[in-house]
């Protein structure tokens, strides 16, 4: 093992400029707890910005493609559309839906929007695998900064098409694909950084709360983009793009990548201490001392870690459901009569944020339950199964009244986003420090990238299929989502059975040790 002096000498040079400035003003070194707080806050805002820019296209869709609203709601799961278009062609509905933007306001507009989504998400998914590989080999602070500034640039360029009067589909497609490439730098990097600073104890709860950035980002992106729509849809893209660029600069100035990189003394709670009496024995997420000859884990080796493949495939279907809502929910709401009334683009964007509010609750709840039960697979599978009736009821009864729509949207968001949040955070962190790695700390970004990258392929397919299927029947879209949720739960069956068997075995062992213990004599 290396001496204590070695890491400190290495890292003082690589301290972020903002950290050096704070220590200069303060006149003393920053404590380990303060570093942890900085990491949580800075990475939280970083990924909030990533998701805020990702959400904007779903808000802009209803302005780009004001297609005929969905009216066949009396028989929610009928595969045939009712011939009831004429009453909808009123001046009021035309005003609500707007004139649209060429080339997205034609008969194939919905399909073109679906192709934009798949272009973004396909490059995002492929880029994720490379980003995780690069993230385990690069300075994550600089890597994240480049990713965020690049994301801001191409998100803004999409909006520039509004003022430049660009009507070429391939311009928007290429810009979206490049935005997806830079977006892929975010998730493996922030999970790896947080993993460097926090031990395994209460990981599900901590990361469940921290992962609220996904939903907060979606809400922020929805609200900001919806508010700016009335000034022109270009502003709905440019302003979030400038926002993530600013946060990227904050990352460059303040993000401490690891305790070693800033010479921080590891906190007692995060050290491996099996001799602690009366406390849970925990394994640190990453070791506090880095071996010089430690090599990054290979891509195929990471796939062979027990649990990676089933959770990755489960996330494929979980993200298919979650991202269909992410990209199409505002569009669906604006084209669905609620209490016989069609809401405006701005109202639909604001209303869709409630799905993400439910997602915040679901992420925290799933993390807390999985910590208490010590059963990640059981928790994730249970949430996916509960998402099936939630999806059915939202499609069937969401149009009845605004109150019912809101309640069902919150419940659906909770069950859809709960397992998605759990798998992409705590599960990825657990598997990235699996015992089969023999303590190798340079696998976390790769494992995270594999799991989320596989999930992102599903995230690309869901919105793409929705673009085509919704033109014929939104009921068919919800059927696709329910089947996907079912498959996601079934893919974890083997792991669920293993966790149940472990619980039964643990319960028996505990019972037997109780019985074999000699009675205590009181004096």
**What residues form DSSP beta bridges with 70?**
336
Highest averaged pLDDT of the listed ranges 242-246, 262-266, 339-343: 242-246
Helix, strand or coil for residue 70? strand
Token pair belonging to 206:
């901590």
Report CA torsion sign: 421, 426, 432, 436: negative
pLDDT value of position 209 = 80
Task: Give the pLDDT band of residue 523 (cuts 50, 70, 90).
Answer: very low
**Mean pLDDT value of segment 503-519:** 71
pLDDT value of position 452 = 80
- 514 vs 510: CA distance, rounded Å: 6
Q: Helix 353-373 and helix 402-422: axis angle, to 10°?
A: 40
**Mean pLDDT value of segment 440-446:** 60
- 263 vs 269: CA distance, rounded Å: 17
**Mean pLDDT value of segment 170-196:** 90
Q: Which of 172-181, 388-397, 436-445 shows the lowest mean pLDDT across its residues?
A: 436-445
CA angle 42-126-249, nearest 5°? 25
Task: Give the pLDDT band of residue 449 (cuts 50, 70, 90).
Answer: confident
pLDDT value of position 269 = 46
**Mean pLDDT value of segment 161-185:** 94
- Does 24 have pLDDT greater than 60? yes
- 56 vs 468: CA distance, rounded Å: 21
Query: 320 versus 97: which is more confidently predicted?
Result: 320
pLDDT digits (tens, 9 = 90+) for 322-379: 989 988 898 899 888 888 888 887 888 888 889 989 988 998 898 888 888 888 889 9
Percentage above 90 pLDDT, the chain: 33
**Mean pLDDT value of segment 498-512:** 80
- Does 399 have pLDDT greater than 70? yes
Q: What is the pTM of this model?
A: 0.70
pLDDT digits (tens, 9 = 90+) for 103-147: 888 878 888 888 888 889 889 888 887 887 777 778 889 999 999
């Amino acid at each position: 093992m290396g001496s204590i002096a070695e890491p400190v000498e290495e890292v003082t040079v690589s301290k972020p400029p903002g950290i050096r400035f704070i220590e200069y003003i303060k006149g003393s070194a920053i404590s380990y707890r303060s570093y942890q707080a900085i990491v949580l806050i800075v990475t939280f805002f970083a990924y909030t910005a990533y998701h805020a820019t990702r959400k904007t296209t779903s808000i802009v869709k209803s302005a780009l493609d004001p297609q005929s609203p969905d009216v066949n709601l009396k028989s929610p799961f009928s595969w045939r559309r009712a011939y009831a278009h004429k009453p909808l062609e009123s001046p009021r509905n035309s005003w609500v839906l707007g004139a649209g933007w060429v080339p997205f306001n034609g008969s194939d507009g919905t399909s073109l929007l679906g192709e934009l989504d798949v272009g973004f998400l396909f490059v995002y998914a492929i880029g994720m695998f490379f980003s995780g590989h690069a993230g385990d080999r690069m300075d994550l602070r600089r890597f994240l900064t480049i990713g965020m500034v690049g994301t801001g640039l191409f998100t803004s360029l999409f909006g520039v098409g509004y003022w430049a009067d660009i009507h070429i589909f391939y311009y928007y497609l290429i810009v979206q694909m490049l935005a997806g490439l830079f977006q892929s730098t975010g998730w493996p990097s922030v999970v790896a950084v947080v993993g460097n600073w926090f031990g395994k104890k209460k990981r599900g709860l901590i990361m469940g709360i921290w992962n609220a950035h996904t939903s907060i980002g979606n809400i922020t992106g929805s609200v900001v983009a919806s508010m700016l729509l009335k000034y022109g849809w270009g502003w709905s893209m440019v302003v979030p793009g400038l926002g993530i660029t600013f946060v990227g600069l904050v990352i460059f100035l303040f993000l401490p990548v690891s305790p070693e990189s800033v010479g921080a003394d590891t906190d007692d709670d995060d050290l491996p201490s099996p001799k602690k009496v009366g406390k849970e024995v925990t394994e640190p997420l990453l070791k506090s001392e880095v071996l010089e000859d430690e090599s990054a884990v290979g891509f195929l080796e990471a796939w062979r870690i027990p649990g990676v493949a089933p959770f990755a495939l489960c996330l494929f279907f979980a993200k298919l459901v979650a991202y269909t809502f992410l990209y199409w929910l505002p569009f669906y709401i604006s084209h669905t009569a609620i209490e016989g009334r069609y809401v405006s683009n701005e109202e639909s964007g604001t209303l869709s944020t409630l799905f993400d509010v439910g997602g915040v609750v679901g992420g925290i709840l799933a993390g807390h339950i999985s910590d208490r039960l010590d059963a990640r697979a059981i928790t994730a599978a249970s949430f996916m199964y509960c998402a099936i009736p939630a999806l059915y009821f939202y499609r069937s009864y969401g149009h009845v009244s605004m109150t019912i729509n809101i309640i069902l949207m919150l419940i659906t968001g909770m069950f859809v986003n709960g397992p998605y949040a759990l798998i992409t955070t705590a599960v990825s962190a657990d598997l990235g420090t699996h015992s089969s790695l023999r303590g190798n700390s340079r696998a976390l970004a790769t494992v995270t990238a594999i799991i989320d990258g596989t999930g992102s392929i599903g995230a690309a397919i869901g919105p793409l299929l929705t673009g085509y299927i919704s033109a014929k029947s939104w009921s068919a879209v919800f059927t696709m989502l329910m089947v996907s949720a079912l498959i996601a739960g079934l893919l974890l069956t083997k792991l669920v059975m293993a966790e149940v068997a472990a619980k039964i075995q643990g319960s028996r062992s505990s019972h037997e040790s109780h019985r074999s213990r000699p009675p205590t004599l009181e004096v």
